[in-house]
Structure formats: C-alpha cells, structure tokens
Amino acid sequence: MSKHLFLTIAVSVLALLFLDPFMVLMPESVTWLVLGGLMLSTIVYGLLIFTEKAQDEREVSIRGFADRVSYLVGMILLVAVIAMDLFTLGKVYPEIVIILVVMVVSKSIAHWYACNHF
C-alpha cells in the first residue's frame, strides 16, 4: 500500500467521523483525539505532496491533471454549499466564502509565482 493511499484513507476516515450529527459514536474526549489525528494526518499528507518529485514529463502531466480536477471539484462543491445555504437558510456562512476566496487567490498567486520563478 502506497503512502498516498494510506494517508488518503486516514484523512478521509478521520474527517468522516465528524459527520456523526448527535455525537453518539464520538463522545467529547474522543472528538478531540480524532481532531488531533485528522490534523496530524493532514499535515503529513501535505508534506508528502510537497516533497514528492516527478520523474518525467508524464508524471508532471498526471499530477497537474489531478491538481486541476481536485481544485475544480472543491470550487464547485463550495459554490454548491453557498447556494444551498442561501436557499435553505437565507444566509451564507462567511467561512465558506472565505475558503472559496482563499482557494482562488492562492491558486492565482501560486500560478504567478511559478511562471515568474521557474
């Protein structure tokens, strides 16, 4: 099992544990433990992504395609959550809008930096 697959599963399972709406499965003490595990596994996953090196042009292309797909899916889902909140609650949580704006701005900055420094 590769490191990517293991960390993807770990981050996903730990994040999905927070979907227990009545916290039946996770009492408060377990919630903090799972949150710590989620934070640690996310940090390790991020470090793994930033330290991996592509061996050839094919790997660079595959990684670029995966990055674009995940970015677009994240943006589409955030916009869908904004629309759903607006229609059901009549308001939008500012955290969701901030996350969307940070995604767009950070991608633009990263693209500008890469074009000017590589």
Please give the pLDDT value at position 118. Answer: 77
Q: What is the pLDDT of residues 2-56, one digit of tens each?
A: 777 888 888 998 888 888 766 677 777 788 888 899 999 999 988 988 888 888 8
pTM: 0.76
Listed residues 52, 71, 94: the one ending a domain = 52
- The pair of structure tokens assigned to 108 is 């633009």
Same domain as 60, residue 42: no
Which residue range(s) make up the domain with 46? 1-52
CA distances from 45 to 4, 94, 106 (A): 7, 27, 19
